[in-house]
Structure 1
Amino acid sequence: MKYFKKSFFLLFLSIAGLAQNNIIPAPVNYERTDAMFMLDQQTAIDVKSENEEVRRYAELFQAFLTQGGLQIPLKSVESPDRMNKAIVVQLSPNANLGEEGYTLEVQENVINLSANAPAGIFNGFQTLRQLLPRQFENTGDGAVGLGMIMGCKITDYPRFGWRGLMLDVSRHFFTVDEVKAYLDKMAQYKFNVFHWHLTDDEGWRIEIKSLPKLTEVGAWRVERFGRFGDTRPYPQEGEKATYGGFYTQEQIKDIIRYAEDRNITIVPEIDMPGHSMAALAAYPELSVNKEPKFVNPGSKFAEWYGDGHFEMLIENTLNPADEKVYEFVDKVMTEVAELFPGKYIHMGGDECYQGYWEKDAEVQKFMKKNKLADTHALQSYFVSRVNEIIQSKGKTMIGWDEVLEGGDLPKSTAVMSWRGMKGGIEAAKMGHEVVMTPTTFAYIDYTQGDKSVENPIYASLSLEKTYSFEPVPDEVEAKYILGGQGNLWTEVIPNLPFAMYMTYPRGLALAETFWSPKEKKDWNSFINRTEQHFMRFEVANTNISKAVYEPIIKLKKEDGKLICELENNVPNTTIYYTIDNTYPVHFGQKYMGAFEIPEGNLGLRTQTYRNGQPLGRELRIHRDDLIKRVE
């Protein structure tokens, strides 16, 4: 009787929760039917293909069901019926689906999943996972064991071939298991490229056997706490470097296999010629001044003057006039290329300070000999040499949009546009393949909610702004845009739970942007579906931001008065506020329009509600701080 009551309750939850399509990213075509499929112990997965990848993907889905409390076999089912149901998986030619598309049909006793290629089967399983009750995401005592799936017919395929996320493991090191957990969540939402930022000033994270000091020295820094910048002291004389880590080549191979099993290709990044302080700590002779260096512990080592202009206080660039540097690059890229089976190797190329090159007599002599007009041309020379090295390993080079500087970039080189869309537009017009990842839409390390309750950083990026991203500018041919990517830099992200918090739900917005047809994008639909996925993250015990619920505060001065406007773009919400130092906010004023915040020792308290229940966090900001925000 106890089992029956639990089953009936879960069945009710299943039907109620699946009254609408909550799939992210939104499929190309979804058609609801009157059928209902009960996934239970009478179900089997029938793989009608000899393809090893297809079977592996089926086994992965089987393992997901097992951790959700339901053990079902992989076996052939000849004539499915109510007591002998089947999830039938097969490869079947369909010209419209491409390599990653699929069709999924949920009937009374059978679910048919078909695709042209194994990648499509994997993606179809991710959609099927979302059609299940959210309780299946629970890996603990709350596991379900059965679930109702509403009848439907789905035809789906991605808009772009490059649907990526970047994780910076240099500023903070993430373990093998943590990287795998990040890959798991990516795969769930049909991301297929993991850009792995493996080297930077704060740490060298990949074992290069021919250059052992890169990890013996470059992978470790003195331990510091708190925010990066002025408050982090430089290493003291004799202080041991104890914080960091690196991935052995065997660990990297393991992670590559893990990613491949989830339809994800890894693009490794070895950042050069700038951002090389960790490499120079190991091999200072590769710099211009050849002075001893240290792995930066997050201390301030540059002055930023705005508009992208800066001056390095400590040398962190390779010497492009030294042939030994190219021998070093060749050794690194040889081992990187042997490890990673994907097409691309990312060479960085961003934020390269050229001041040390300009002041060095030997570098200037080299430039004159090679008829290089300025240091931009010198950087272009370096990029071309690195491109030749990477090509000699059978790989294609990709770099940040600074690789365009100085001209003469080989057509085969792909460009990742991060300083807005401008670099990508320029590259596409020149015939380069482009990945769009502009700061204005895709930098998911930016503050996503009000700075009074979030980790402040130098810029903000809301969920709605991220969702408005359109990767193909009107002035370029779409064929040159490979797709897009979100970037997670980790100066203020020291652990995996917070990495997940910063990635999602903005990662969901990017997943839909990169997968779904442009005409299918709709904010109200997306945010309604996202709210359902909030509950999936909760059941999975995975950290996620709900900052989208919180009021957006806008301030201005009118006739000497401080005027406040509040906004929230989640449907069916109400904002309450107080400005008289009273609380709780729900018993304050219902927001109906702009209001004055009078002078005095007081502050704004505001919070979003739905049906009398608080949604986001309460924001509390003193008037003095509000004045600083005046537009």
Structure 2
Amino acid sequence: MKQALVAVLCCAFINLKAQITPLNLIPQPVEVQQSAGSFALTNKTTISYNKAEAKVATDMLIQRINTATGLMLKAQEGKTGMIQLNLNANTQLGKEGYTIEVTPKTVLVSANEAAGLFYGMQTVLQLLPKEIESKSVIKANWTIPAVKITDYPRFAWRGIMLDVSRNFFTKEEVKKYIDNIARFKYNTFHWHLTDDEGWRIEIKSLPKLTEVGAWRVARAGHFGDRDAPKPGEKATVGGYYTQEDIKEVVKYAQERNVTIVPEIDVPGHSMAAIAAYPELSTTKNPNTFVNPGANIADWYGNGTFKLRYENALNPSDEKVYEFLDKVMTEVAALFPNQYIHVGGDECYKGFWAADAGCQALMKKLGIRHVEDLQGYFMNRLEKILEAKGKKLIGWDEILEGGISPNATVMSWRGVKGGIEAAHLGHEVVMTPTTFAYLDYNQGDNSVDPPIYAGLRVSKSYSFEPVPDGVDAKYILGGQGNLWSEQLPTARYADYMTYPRAWALSEVYWSQKSAKNWDNFSKRMEAHFERADVAEINYSKAAYDAIITAKMKDNKLVVELGSEIADLDIYYSIDDSMPDKYSSKYTQPIEMPDGPITLRVITYRAGKPIGHLITLKRAELERRAGK
């Protein structure tokens, strides 16, 4: 009798397991309990919300559902809907947490605040079939699997930075970018608005900033290798956001629970501002130009550099601080959040060292090192911001020369600056190049256009924002940064953002104990399919082979690997094109002498899936350090 009962229970468990399909949610919730069955969306489905603050998320959910399904669902106030978005008190959830309970009869989404409902709504959309991402009506089995979810974020700051200075993106493109990151529970959009290559925000009291500073001469080709402007050449490439544009984007972001942090990059990276107002620099050169992507600096192997053109504001000139006060007055009025990012990175001080005014200021202040002038500058700027009710945040170079305890630090040169800042009692946002720079190429340099360095999605996923020995209370969270030197279009910006922004969303939102690369990679692949339906571009470099070369006993040895576990790797060294009948990689390959070419491709289930990678012997030897 007992054996029969056990057999029945086992069969029931197997049948239940067969009915439960993976949910593929990104980022991974705190707690998920699946059960059998599902909720079906039909034209009889009703949707309600219990408080006025819940209406925005409810309307967004209905809009997404109706667009893809063709249903004509409408929201109603109250607690009678089959799908309900309710604001209820739950101390466990905090400001951004939520719960979801799906049964065959109801879908209940609850949160303490509107932000939590918004994130719960995004999870409900991920529970629906991938076709929900369609911009037009499509036929699908519109069901939501039965599940209980409890979810809340690990970190308060979950950000993405977009640089619109080096390449300008329109207001509509920026709104779409914000919408897409909000789907993955990012709550901060760092808007890099000014740099050497363009000033992108209207300042009404300083009209030349956009009349001159927003435009550069037309140039094609690789950024950093372009020609400087020629005498008399007109600047026709660029653009800027009016203050009405800014207000519109801020409102759009607020509706998606995204805070916009503007960046006005000073004192360095100010060439566009100086082109508009040359008197802001030490040399006051009237021929200063907005950089079209020319190489304006000599970089040395130890990270130091020398600028050929002046791009830093003059810290000894009181008119510079009058300029900054005008700029920050208008910026502060446009952005309601508490922070204004002031840059502070890569400030070349050679022109300061040669300037009599700067030398006189150093003597007056009793400072011996020109580097300390940046600390003076930042402290002056911080007082300007404080007078407008704002907090200063900047890249980790702002630690050089001393800053006030109230300043917040973004650690980009690895995590070292963040560790130092936290030990000094500063709040920190971790955004190191080694894990979070989305402009770095994602695969092999022979496939993706090479830039400063590479960063694979698995490396981003491995990031831990709280370093050992650091009090976690000082780590606000983290951020991915997308610089736009090599981003000619918004679609390519998406390609560089995803899937690494999906990986970082899980780093910043999900519990540390939930991290599992093999599990994430499967969910990532499911989101490839969703992105295809949504027409969002992304990189498939995770399918490509990883090729490592080294010298061993004076022989060139190559090792092949992949980020995704279940791929087969095939290669050739005989000038044939590899396929599944070629040599299959099983162990390191000792390259024979001679002018060989290595060709590598990945397969899954007998079908090619990765890019063909072709490397000549000279490149392999270079990678081996020979």
TM-score normalised by the chain length of structure 2: 0.95
Q: Distance in 2 between matches of 1:450 and 1:175?
A: 31
Could you say which residue in structure 2 is the equivalent of 1:71? 72
- Counterpart residue identity of residue 66, structure 2: T
- Counterpart residue identity of residue 95, structure 1: T
CA contact (8 A) 1:136 1:144 kept: no
CA contact (8 A) 1:550 1:607 kept: yes
Q: Distance in 2 between matches of 1:610 and 1:564?
A: 22
Could you say which residue in structure 2 is the equivalent of 1:234? 228
Q: Distance in 2 between matches of 1:396 and 1:261?
A: 23
- Counterpart residue identity of residue 92, structure 1: N
Q: Does 1:362 align with 2:362?
A: no
1:262 to 256, 268, 276: 256
1:396 to 391, 400, 405: 391
Runs of 5+ unmatched residues, structure 1: 1-14, 81-85
Could you say which residue in structure 2 is the equivalent of 1:170? 165
State the SS of the aligned residue for 2:598: strand
Q: Does 1:113 align with 2:114?
A: no
Could you say which residue in structure 1 is the equivalent of 2:476? 482
CA contact (8 A) 2:93 2:111 kept: yes
Q: Does 1:571 align with 2:565?
A: yes
Distance 1:187 1:599, change over 3 A: same
Could you say which residue in structure 2 is the equivalent of 1:55? 55
2:86 to 70, 86, 90: 90
Q: Distance in 2 between matches of 1:520 and 1:445?
A: 27
Moved more, 271-280 or 556-565: 556-565
Q: Does 1:24 align with 2:26?
A: yes
CA contact (8 A) 1:17 1:133 kept: no
Shift of 1:21: 2.1
CA contact (8 A) 2:49 2:78 kept: no
Distance 1:534 1:16, change over 3 A: farther
Shift of 1:571: 2.4
1:524 to 518, 522, 536: 518
1:251 to 226, 235, 245: 245
CA contact (8 A) 2:571 2:578 kept: no
Moved more, 595-604 or 162-171: 595-604
Shift of 1:71: 2.7
For 1:458-516, what per-residue CA distance to the aligned partner results, in whole angstroms no more than 9, with x for missing partners?
21111111111000011111010000000000111111111001010000110000000
1:282 to 276, 281, 291: 276
Shift of 1:584: 3.9
For 1:279-320, what per-residue CA distance to the aligned partner results, in whole angstroms no more than 9, with x for missing partners?
000000000011121000000100000222000000000000
Q: Distance in 2 between matches of 1:476 and 1:28?
A: 24
Shift of 1:377: 1.5
Distance 1:78 1:228, change over 3 A: closer
Could you say which residue in structure 1 is the equivalent of 2:623? 629
For 1:362-406, what per-residue CA distance to the aligned partner results, in whole angstroms no more than 9, with x for missing partners?
210111112222212211000000000011111111000000001
Shift of 1:73: 1.2
Shift of 1:76: 5.3
For 1:94-120, what per-residue CA distance to the aligned partner results, in whole angstroms no more than 9, with x for missing partners?
111010000001011110000010000
Q: Distance in 2 between matches of 1:246 and 1:79?
A: 47
Could you say which residue in structure 2 is the equivalent of 1:7? none
Q: Distance in 2 between matches of 1:365 and 1:430?
A: 31
CA contact (8 A) 2:166 2:485 kept: yes
Shift of 1:78: 6.6
Distance 1:324 1:17, change over 3 A: farther
2:380 to 359, 380, 385: 385
Shift of 1:602: 2.7
State the SS of the aligned residue for 1:425: helix
Shift of 1:68: 1.0
CA contact (8 A) 1:18 1:149 kept: no
For 1:126-150, what per-residue CA distance to the aligned partner results, in whole angstroms no more than 9, with x for missing partners?
1001000001111136x23651111
Could you say which residue in structure 2 is the equivalent of 1:464? 458
Could you say which residue in structure 1 is the equivalent of 2:11? none
Shift of 1:79: 6.0
Could you say which residue in structure 2 is the equivalent of 1:10? none
Could you say which residue in structure 1 is the equivalent of 2:317? 322
CA contact (8 A) 2:50 2:79 kept: no
Identity %: 54
- Counterpart residue identity of residue 497, structure 1: R
Could you say which residue in structure 1 is the equivalent of 2:366? 371
Shift of 1:562: 1.3
State the SS of the aligned residue for 1:385: helix
Q: Distance in 1 between matches of 2:310 and 2:111?
A: 52
Q: Distance in 2 between matches of 1:75 and 1:92?
A: 17
Q: Distance in 2 between matches of 1:550 and 1:286?
A: 49
Q: Distance in 2 between matches of 1:104 and 1:50?
A: 20
Q: Distance in 2 between matches of 1:605 and 1:628?
A: 17
2:418 to 424, 435, 450: 424
- Counterpart residue identity of residue 343, structure 2: G
2:613 to 609, 619, 626: 619
Shift of 1:16: 9.6
CA contact (8 A) 1:585 1:605 kept: no
Shift of 1:614: 1.4
Q: Distance in 2 between matches of 1:157 and 1:615?
A: 36
TM-score normalised by the chain length of structure 1: 0.94
Q: Distance in 1 between matches of 2:577 and 2:453?
A: 30
Moved more, 536-545 or 369-378: 369-378
Give the CA RMSD over aligned residues: 1.4
